[in-house]
Amino acid sequence: MNKIPVTVVITAKNEEARIGRCLDALHGFDQVIVVDSNSTDKTRKIAQEWGAEVVEYTWNGQYPKKRGWCLQQLHFRHLWVFWVDADEYVTPALVRELRKLFQTPPACAGYFVRGQYLWADRALRHGMQNNKLCLFHREKLEFPIIDDLDISGMGEIEGHYQPVLKAQACNDAIGRLKSAVLHDAYHNMEHWHARHEHYAYWEAEMTRKKRWPTDPIKWREAAKTQLRAAYLRPEIMFVWSYVMKRGFLDGRAGLAFAKSRYLYAKMVRDKLRA
C-alpha cells in the first residue's frame, strides 16, 4: 500500500518507555523523523532500530524553539508535516482518515486533531479532550515567536498555543479531522504533577503579562480569553469534563481524570494569585 505523503515529526527526550509504541503506529507514513534533545536513555537507539530518521537538537535558549527550528532545519520530503508527541499513539482510524485525505490535495491549510486521553492504559471515551493544530502545510503555517523567554516552565519547546497562518495564507481555511490520537499523559502521576507545576507557572505568567498569541479560530480565542481570567476556572473545568462532556460514563477513571483537570486549573489560579 502506498505511503501517506506526510512527514511525521516526533520531538522527544528520554522517551525510551514510549517511543517504540508511538513509532509502531506510524508505518503508513512516508517519512518519520525523531528530533531528540540529547537523551541519556535508549530513545535514539530505539528510533534508529525502528527505521526513523534521528536528528539531534540542542536549544540555544532563544527562538526558534524546537518545533520552529524543525521547520527551518529538517530535510522534509513533503510539504505536509504531522507533529506527534512521544506520548501519543496514532489510531488506525486516523491513519485511514489521513490516507483518504491525501488521495487529493487537502482543501485546508491545516487540520486540528483530537487527543483522546488514556487512563491506566484505557482510552477514555468521554470527558474533556484536547485539540491540536498538528497537521499542516509547512509553507502556510508557522509557530509564532512570543515574548516568553523570561518565563520558566516550558524551556526548549513551544508552549500551549497553536501555530498561526502565515501572512500569504491568512485567508486559508483550517479544518478538523474526525479521528483521534491516543494521549498517554497520565502514565506516571508523580511525573505528571511535577511537569504540570512548571506548565502552570508558565501559563499563569503568560496570562499575567498578556503575552498569549491569538488562536487561529475566533471562537476558540474568545473562549480561551474568558476562561483564563475566570476565578472559577478549576470548577468550570471539572464540571465541563465530568458532567457536560459526560466523563461520569467512564466510571472511576472519568472522575479521576476530571479531578486532574481541576487540579491543573487550580495550580494556574494559585500561581496567578501568588
Q: What is the mean pLDDT of residues 230-247?
A: 97
Decide if pLDDT at 15 tops 80: yes
Which residues partner with 211 through β-bridges? none
Q: How many CA atoms lie within 13 A of 9 on its CB side?
A: 27
Mean pLDDT of the chain, nearest integer: 96
Tell me the C-alpha distance between 175 and 265, whole Å. Answer: 28
The continuous run of DSSP H or E covering 154 comes out as: none
pLDDT at 120: 87
Tell me the C-alpha distance between 76 and 156, whole Å. Answer: 21
pLDDT at 47: 98
| In the chain, domain spans | 4-273
Q: Are 2 and 73 in contact (CB under 8 A)?
A: no
pLDDT at 191: 85
Q: Are 145 and 68 in contact (CB under 8 A)?
A: yes
C-alpha cell at 109: 491549510
Specify the DSSP class assigned to residue 250: G
Residue type, 178: K
Residue with cell 504540570: 196
Tell me the C-alpha distance between 132 and 31, whole Å. Answer: 21
Residue type, 40: T
Decide if pLDDT at 1 tops 80: no
- pLDDT digits over 226-235, tens only? 999 899 999 9
pTM above the 0.85 mark?
A: yes
Lowest-confidence region among 22-26, 43-47, 118-122? 118-122
Helix (H, G, I), strand (E, B) or coil at 189: helix
User: Confidence band (pLDDT; 50, 70, 90) for 51?
Assistant: very high
Residues with Cβ < 8 Å from 230, sequence gap 6 or more? 236
- pLDDT digits over 145-188, tens only? 999 999 999 999 999 999 999 999 999 999 999 999 999 989 87
Measured CA to CA in angstroms, residue 154 lies from 126, 218, 246 at distances of 28, 25, 31
Q: How far apart are the first and last CA of the chain?
A: 56
Residue with cell 488521495: 103
Q: What is the mean pLDDT of residues 261-271?
A: 97
Tell me the C-alpha distance between 18 and 118, whole Å. Answer: 13
Q: Are 102 and 8 in contact (CB under 8 A)?
A: no
| Domain 4-273, CATH number (from 3.90.550, 3.40.50, 3.30.360, 2.60.40) | 3.90.550
User: Confidence band (pLDDT; 50, 70, 90) for 57?
Assistant: very high
